[in-house]
Amino acid sequence: MTTASALNLLDLLDQRRSVPARQLGEPGPDAAQLEHLLQAAIRVPDHGKLVPWRLLAIRGGARARLGERLAAIHAQTEPAVAPSALEKDHERFNAAPLVVAVIARIEADHPKIPAQEQLLSAGCVAYNLLLGAQALGFGAQWLTGWAAYDGEVARELGLGANERIIAFVHIGTAKEPAPERARPALADVWSEWT
């Protein structure tokens, strides 16, 4: 790796921002961009080469259908839910043209690879999607919300017993510049063990 490319990578990290999903719109990645993004995203640490994750695309009309299912599930499990919460469920996936569900596939009783390492590998895939989308000129946001932890939603999306959603990564074109937020001071999170 050359110094120039290392600087470019550090610039990307220095500029990393989440674009709120509601501020994302068309266009999303085309087929070639999407394939490149996904191929790059799965290049993560993976102890034991277990591939403890998979990716599920939610796009086109599937976004609205999933929103309808979320609202129905929410209303069934919480009959007194506020109409505004159900509207949020309906619209949850409608802004960004592409939502990638990152699904962790955990072998809880693996004799060598702890479940935490498998989960962290899946988390790296989600983070790589954020970085890769930004590198391609798109905005992205990693969200979960109640739907990521709900058993009925998991069944709706076809998850197996050993699978769980760790991220809904919303990807699209930012309608406005990504907001910056306060970041921790390095001195507050860095120390040295001696």
Q: Which among 123, 98, 124 is positioned nearest to 33, based on CA atoms?
A: 98
Which DSSP symbol is given to 112? S
Q: Where are the alpha helices (DSSP H) in 42-150?
A: 61-77, 83-91, 115-135
43 is in an annotated binding site: yes
193 is in an annotated binding site: no
59 is in an annotated binding site: no
User: Three-state DSSP class for 193?
Assistant: coil
142 is in an annotated binding site: yes
- Contacts of residues 34-43 at CB distance under 8 Å and 24 or more positions apart, as own/partner, are 34/98, 36/132, 36/136, 37/129, 37/132, 37/133, 37/136, 37/171, 38/100, 40/128, 40/132, 41/125, 41/128, 41/129, 41/132, 42/125, 42/128, 43/128
Q: Which among 1, 22, 3, 10 is positioned nearest to 176, based on CA atoms?
A: 22
47 is in an annotated binding site: yes
16 is in an annotated binding site: yes
Which DSSP symbol is given to 29? -
Annotated binding residues for FMN, written as ranges, equal 16-18, 43, 47, 142-144
Annotated binding residues, written as ranges, equal 16-18, 43, 47, 142-144
